[in-house]
Every structure is written in C-alpha cells, then in structure tokens.
Amino acid sequence: MKNNNTSRRDFLRASGGAIGAAWVGLNWPAVAAAAQHAHEAAAGRIDHEFKVLDARRACDVAAIAAQIVPTDDRPGATEAGVVYFIDHVHAGIYASAKADFLAGLTAFQAEFARLHPDGGQFADLDAGAQREYLKSVEATPFFGQMRFLTICGLLALPSYGGNEHKLGWQLVGFVDQHAWQPPFGHYDRDYPGFVPYAKAPQS
C-alpha cells in the first residue's frame, strides 16, 4: 500500500494478499471480528480510516497489540480496535510523538528483517513465534511504548478510536457512569458501621 490513508477493508486485503495468508489463517477469529468492524465502518459508525500507518506497519502494530492483550474466549486488543487507536492518536492527541513512534516501529521492523533474511514481517509469524520474538525485545523502549499504547487503546474513551463498543472496559469490568450509590462492592454490602476504639494512652 502506498497510500497512508488506508481503510480497514484495504488493511485486511493487504494482510491477506500482500502480506500472506498465514497471518490471516492464524488470526482468523480476530480477522473475522475485524471484518465485522469493517462492515460497521462502512455503515459509518466507526472511523476505520488509517491516518498514519500504512498497511505493512498496521499489520505489525496490530499483531504486537494482539500479543500484549491476546484474544481468547474474550475479546482482546484486536476486537477493541487498538490498531486504530494507535493510528489515530498519532494524528491527534499524540501527534507530536508521531515521528518518534514511527522511528521506533521502523527500527523494530528493520531488526526483525535483519534476523529474518528470508523475508516476511513480524505479523507473518505464528502466534507462538511472535511471543518468543517479543520476549526478546520486551525490554526495548519501543515495546514499552507499544504496551502503553495498547493498554490505552483498550481502555481510553472510545472517542480516541480504540475501546470499540467499550469492549476494553467490559473486559476489565469497568463501567463509566457519573453517579453510583453504595454498596459499591461485595465487601461493603453488610458493613455494620465503624466501631470506635477504647481511648489510647496519650504518648
């Protein structure tokens, strides 16, 4: 993809075609979820236009995020649209960090390519190999930044482009509401009230 302004549909097409069927196969549940999102995006509900990342970069960012918060029987970074968050914030709230972020990503991809001279990119690896590879780079600032962005993409206000359908909040059991009343949880339900102590000897 030459165009930075890549749509989700293009992203999927690029992932499946130019990047390799292996990634799509191994990430099928995620891709299926993403396809559903693409459908919703087409219906105009969610902004799935890439503003910063090209498809190759988006694939690696999505794959790293999907390892940080993987999908199992509950949604993960993929379903929460973390890749869109990471894309959008670098054209918005973190625009000033865009150059540093892209430099880190480029260096990540270059190092991966150096260690994998036979071609392909990180996103092409199977999930187990991705995990192994990320363990080898987990102390790098770029991985730290990806972890930060993934968590933010999962749990920030949906208006930033991630946390789609509040899936991230559902995952961690958080409900954003402007008023609550006690009891707030299990343990304060039957609290009998504060029992005062006997007066302490004055020190």
Partner 1 sequence: MSPRSYKPGETVDFVVVGSGAAGGVMARELARAGFDVIVMEQGPRFTAADFRHDELDYWFNNALLNSPQASPQTFRRTAEETAQRVKDFPALWYARMVGGSSNHFTANFWRFHEVDFRERSLLGAIPGTSFADWPIDYAELEPYYTKVEWDVGVSGLAGASRFDPPRSKPYPMPPLPVKSSGVLLERGARKLGLHPFPAPMAIASVPYKGRPACAHCGFCMGFGCEMQAKSSTLYTMIPEAEATGRCEVRSESYVFRVDVNDRDRVTGVTYFDRDRREHFQPARAVVLCANGAESARLLLMSASARNPNGLANSSGMVGRNLMFNTYSEVHAIFEHELNEYKSVQVTRIVHDFYDSDPKRGFYGGGGFDSRISLNPIGWALFAPPASRAWGADFKSLIEAMPRAMVVATHGTSLPLESNRVDLDPDLKDAWGLPAMRVTYKDHPDDLKFAAFLQDRGLEVMQAAGAQQAWKAPITEATGSPHLLGTCRMGNDPATSVVDRYHRTHDVRNLFVCDGSSFVTSGRGQPTMTIQALAFRAGEHIAGFARRNEI
Q: Which DSSP category does 124 fall into?
A: G
Q: Which is nearer to partner 1, 119 or 203 (CB)?
A: 203
Please state the closest distance from residue 2 (CB atom) to partner 1, in A. Answer: 31
Q: Which is nearer to partner 1, 114 or 177 (CB)?
A: 177
Q: Which is nearer to partner 1, 11 or 112 (CB)?
A: 112
Amino acid letter for position 112: F
- Do residues 89 and 51 lie in contact, with contact meaning Cβ atoms separated by under 8 Å? no
Cβ distance to partner 1 smaller for residue 44 or 196: 196
* Minimum distance of partner 1 from residue 183's CB (angstroms): 8
Write out the DSSP string of 6-67.
-BHHHHHHHIIIII-HHHHHHTHHHHHHHHHHHHHHHTTSS--B-SS--HHHHHHHHHHHHH
Q: Name the site residues for partner 1 (rule: CB under 8 A).
A: 67-70, 72, 74, 76, 93-94, 96, 131, 134, 138, 147-148, 151-152, 154-157, 160, 168-169, 171-188, 191, 194, 196-197, 199-200, 203
Write down the least CB distance from residue 30 to partner 1, Å: 14
When the beta carbons of 38 and 156 are compared against partner 1, the nearer one is: 156
Tell me the closest approach of the beta carbon of residue 7 to partner 1, in angstroms.
Answer: 25
Q: 3-state DSSP call for residue 83?
A: helix
Dihedrals phi, psi of 75, to nearest 5 degrees: -65, 160
Distance of closest approach, residue 140 Cβ to partner 1, in angstroms: 13
Whether 83 and 62 have beta carbons less than 8 Å apart is answered as yes
DSSP symbols for 140-196: SHHHHHHHHHHHHHHHS-GGGS-SGGGHHHHHHT----S---S--SSTTTT---PPP
